[in-house]
Amino acid sequence: MYYVVVKITNCLAVQNISQNIVHAIQDHFLLIQKTSLIRISNLIFIRHYFFYIVNYKIFFLIPLILSIGLIPQLMSNALAEENTVIATISVGEGSRSIEFDSVNNRMYVTNWDDDTVSVINTATNGVIETISVGDAPHGMAFDSANNRMYVVNAYDNTISVINTATNAVDATIAAGTNPVDVALDSANDRLYVTNYNQGIITVIDTDDNTIITTISVGGPGNFPLHIAFDSTNDRMYVTEWKGHEVSVINTATNAVDATIAAGNFPTGIAFDSTNNRMYVSITSDDAVKVINTATNAVDATISVGNSPRDMAFDSTNNRMYVTDLADNTISVINTATNAVDATISVGTNPYGIAFDSANNRMYVADNADDTVSVIDIAPVAEEIKKSSSDCYDCEPPKLQSTQIQISSNISIIISDDESTNITANVGDEIEITLEITDDKSVHLLPTSGIYTNFMEIPNDMNLFFVNNFDDWNNTSTSFYEWNRNHDDVSYDYADTVMWSSPEISYVEFPVTDETSFEIINDDYIVEHFIISFKMKFTDSMESSQVWVSAADYYGQSFKVPLPLTLEILGDEPLDFTSTLNQKVLGYFNDPVLLSVLSQWSESSNEMSELSSILGVNGELPSWTANLATWTVEEKITPAEMIIAIEYVINHSA
């Protein structure tokens, strides 16, 4: 019998382990005696260790720092490298969708921002070709019988047909307005294309690349997005982004046979060919719906990560992999139980995903990193099942306080007791400061964000940024996300918000008898992560909620509304400060000025006399006489006339 003895902050944890765990330890540890470092699988670090083997018993004495998830790893299939990222591949800009060529064992990746497709050799995980296609390539479909990859170009309204034997574009097909995704009905040699803005599906004959028909799926307001083929029942299933439903198309008749209520903003869709089910990601609900294709009824709803997007089915192990765009993770669903068995960290903003059945791997397009993450998949472990207590860090960060300051006004401390209505003027700088704690060191917090200007999704808003919803399913159109290890992301749909880089600080507080246990972290100290977001509006904004978020190093996160509403009033105030020598008119009493102007209007009407009356050196332009006349006629006030004339004399050549 073997034992692992671990000292964790004065607490001994003793666990029995089996022979294969000892072998795993021997395989995965670099043992360096009397140093301050052990390296495990090139990822996990322990400081100040002492390691020795006596009579086949293994002891670890670790004074304060336990390697990330070591005990759960030991308890879970002997440190098996299951569902781990084994490679990261650089591709083009804005990697979006990904599709597997099962004939040549290659992955094809659409690069939205540079209008190319990257071709990856899955044997070497290297890019072997970059193919120029149309504007804004998005979805793809592979025709294995004819060695073709069909690539939808959203802004060109076309499909590029790539010969996968030569990686040359053999043809370009008209595909309707704003095509987004495509699926192949190989039995009938047809492509089904979602046309986002038109609210239709375009059906194309792949023999001659001509459009056969179009199918309405709710009309222009429903925004059909993604599509998947049910090869068992010969049906196409289409997610309708703003229709909040899934349309079912009979490919024999090209008619809509059914519509299924799916939840708020259905996005990705994938077919489980083993159990004859469709899995649909519901972006704003952070969930996946399971549709029984025999009855077209929703059989289950599964909670996944934040803003689920695309999905891919692992037919070997009966698992569905879901990209959680806002969490930078993949949720792994066991399709036998419809429960999430694992969560995998990948690159920033994972979007598309595809299964390499030849090598038992998942390939994930990390949109913001311009990379592809390669996940090695192992069979489902039956020996040991994880429980909710098997996590190293189970607690998300906590928002302790919020402070808001408008320009130089007095700071306002926000309380949860009641909602506060905050108003500011156009041009005011608004600073919102968050104080956040965590059960681990706050120095490890990698990201935090702020979201406001919520509204119904504008038709022309880039869908990549439609990730952050309020309680009424309105999306944030102005937000800023700070990232420790990546570039910050700032977005404003209407270009009316100017963001400044947030200020970051860390404060440590002493622990006293009065300190709440909830804010003491695992190192028995109280640390606050303080981040100040600064924004300035150049236009008015209707009253809107303000949401904030933060995540820790291990994927635990919060996203909550602050107990306030923010409203921006009126136009930007006039700026009277200037480094120039401004010319101003003298002080005038309104009745006196009106009397003088009336006499001038009834007599000469000479511009030189008007200039003299107003004390202007030189002669005013002749058209300014109208200003004086309008003042006399009370169409404008004397003050408005003076402002206009001061503008003229300060901006004339």
- Out of 327, 344, 376, a domain closes at 376
Task: Evaluate if pTM is beyond 0.85.
Answer: no
On the question of pLDDT at 130 being above 60, the answer is yes
* Between 10 and 285, residue with greater pLDDT: 285
- The tens digit of pLDDT for each residue in 400-439 reads 889 898 875 656 666 655 677 888 888 889 999 999 998 8
On the question of pLDDT at 632 being above 90, the answer is no
Helices (H) and strands (E) in the chain, counts: 6, 46
Q: What is the pLDDT of residue 84?
A: 87
The mean pLDDT of 594-622, rounded to a whole number, is 80
On the question of pLDDT at 249 being above 90, the answer is yes
- Out of 321, 343, 376, a domain closes at 376
Separation in Å, CA 629 to CA 586, 614, 616, 626 = 20, 14, 18, 5
On the question of pLDDT at 74 being above 70, the answer is no
The mean pLDDT of 287-295, rounded to a whole number, is 94
Sheet containing 447-455: order of strands: 420-425, 557-569, 541-551, 447-455, 475-483, 489-492
Q: What is the pLDDT of residue 6?
A: 32
Please indicate, yes or no, whether residues 192 and 295 belong to a single structural domain of this protein. yes
Q: Across 23-27, 128-132, 639-643, which has the greatest mean pLDDT?
A: 128-132
- 345 falls within a domain: yes
Please indicate, yes or no, whether residues 265 and 179 belong to a single structural domain of this protein. yes
On the question of pLDDT at 69 being above 60, the answer is no
- 118 falls within a domain: yes
Please indicate, yes or no, whether residues 133 and 263 belong to a single structural domain of this protein. yes
Q: What is the pLDDT of residue 392?
A: 66
Residues 6+ apart with CB under 8 A from 122: 105, 106, 107, 356, 358, 359, 361, 363
- The tens digit of pLDDT for each residue in 543-553 reads 999 999 999 87
The mean pLDDT of 3-32, rounded to a whole number, is 34
- 386 falls within a domain: no
Separation in Å, CA 633 to CA 128, 545, 595, 620, 626 = 78, 47, 12, 20, 10
Helix (H) or strand (E) holding 21: helix 19-28
On the question of pLDDT at 136 being above 50, the answer is yes
Please indicate, yes or no, whether residues 50 and 99 belong to a single structural domain of this protein. no
Q: What is the pLDDT of residue 506?
A: 92
Q: Please answer whether residues 631 and 594 qualify as being in contact, where contact means their C-beta atoms are separated by less than 8 angstroms.
A: yes
Residue 70: phi and psi, rounded to 5, are -65, -50
Please indicate, yes or no, whether residues 255 and 201 belong to a single structural domain of this protein. yes
Q: How confident is the model at residue 599 (pLDDT cuts 50, 70, 90)?
A: confident
Q: What is the pLDDT of residue 417?
A: 58
On the question of pLDDT at 345 being above 70, the answer is yes
The mean pLDDT of 646-652, rounded to a whole number, is 77
CATH code, 520:
2.60.40.10
Q: What is the pLDDT of residue 183?
A: 97
Q: What is the pLDDT of residue 602?
A: 75
Please indicate, yes or no, whether residues 316 and 231 belong to a single structural domain of this protein. yes
On the question of pLDDT at 149 being above 80, the answer is yes
The tokens for 311 are 């999905």
Please indicate, yes or no, whether residues 29 and 92 belong to a single structural domain of this protein. no
Other Cβ atoms less than 10 A from the Cβ of 462: the count is: 9
Other Cβ atoms less than 10 A from the Cβ of 239: the count is: 30
Q: Is 394 exposed, middle or buried (0-12, 13-18, 19+ CB in 10 A)?
A: exposed
- The tens digit of pLDDT for each residue in 320-343 reads 999 999 999 999 999 989 999 899
On the question of pLDDT at 20 being above 70, the answer is no
Query: What's the rounded Cα separation, in Å, for the pair 139 and 108?
Result: 11
Mean per-residue pLDDT over the chain, rounded: 81
Angle between helices 590-602 and 625-632 (to 10 degrees): 110
- 272 falls within a domain: yes
DSSP string, 579-611: SS----PPP--HHHHHHHHHHHHHTT--HHHHH
- The tens digit of pLDDT for each residue in 264-286 reads 899 999 999 888 999 999 998 89
- Out of 537, 569, 601, a domain closes at 569
From the list 49, 53, 14, the residue with the least C-alpha distance to 35 is: 49
Domain count along the chain = 4
Please indicate, yes or no, whether residues 37 and 165 belong to a single structural domain of this protein. no
The mean pLDDT of 185-207, rounded to a whole number, is 93
Q: What is the pLDDT of residue 606?
A: 81
- 17 falls within a domain: yes
Q: What is the pLDDT of residue 90?
A: 96
Cβ-count burial 337-359 (b if 16+ within 10 Å, e if not) = ebebbbbbebbbbbbbbbbbeee
- The tens digit of pLDDT for each residue in 429-486 reads 999 999 999 888 888 889 999 999 999 999 889 888 888 888 888 999 999 999 988 8
Please indicate, yes or no, whether residues 514 and 407 belong to a single structural domain of this protein. yes
CATH code, 326:
2.130.10.10
Query: What's the rounded Cα separation, in Å, for the pair 62 and 48?
Result: 7
Please indicate, yes or no, whether residues 338 and 356 belong to a single structural domain of this protein. yes
Q: What is the pLDDT of residue 622?
A: 82
Please state whether beta strands 420-425 and 557-569 pair in parallel, antiparallel, or not at all (unpaired): parallel
Domain, as residue range, for 460: 398-569
- 459 falls within a domain: yes
CA quadruple 118, 305, 446, 489: dihedral sign: positive
Rg value, the chain, Cα: 32
3-class SS at 645?
helix
Please indicate, yes or no, whether residues 113 and 214 belong to a single structural domain of this protein. yes
Q: Please answer whether residues 204 and 215 qualify as being in contact, where contact means their C-beta atoms are separated by less than 8 angstroms.
A: no
- 389 falls within a domain: no
Please indicate, yes or no, whether residues 602 and 532 belong to a single structural domain of this protein. no
On the question of pLDDT at 19 being above 70, the answer is no
